[in-house]
Chain A
Amino acid sequence: GDSVTQMEGPVTLSEEAFLTINCTYTATGYPSLFWYVQYPGEGLQLLLKATKADDKGSNKGFEATYRKETTSFHLEKGSVQVSDSAVYFCALSDLGGGADGLTFGKGTHLIIQP
Chain B
Amino acid sequence: EAGVTQSPTHLIKTRGQQATLRCSPISGHTSVYWYQQALGLGLQFLLWYDEGEERNRGNFPPRFSGRQFPNYSSELNVNALELEDSALYLCASSSEQGLGTEAFFGQGTRLTVV
Contacts and interface: CB of A to CB of B under 8 A. Distances in A.
Contacts of B113: none
A114 to B, nearest CB: 27
Interface string B74-114: 00000000000000001010000111111111111000000
Given A51-B99, A106-B42, A98 B105 contact: no
Interface string A70-114: 000000000000000000010001010011111111110000000
Interface residues of B, number: 26
Nearest to A96: B99
A43 B100 CA distance: 20
Interface string A44-56: 1110010100000
Given A32-B100, A51-B100, 6 more contacts: A30-B99, A31-B99, A43-B105, A44-B90, A102-B103, A103-B45
Interface of B: 4, 31, 33, 35, 41-43, 45, 48, 55-56, 58, 90, 92, 97-108
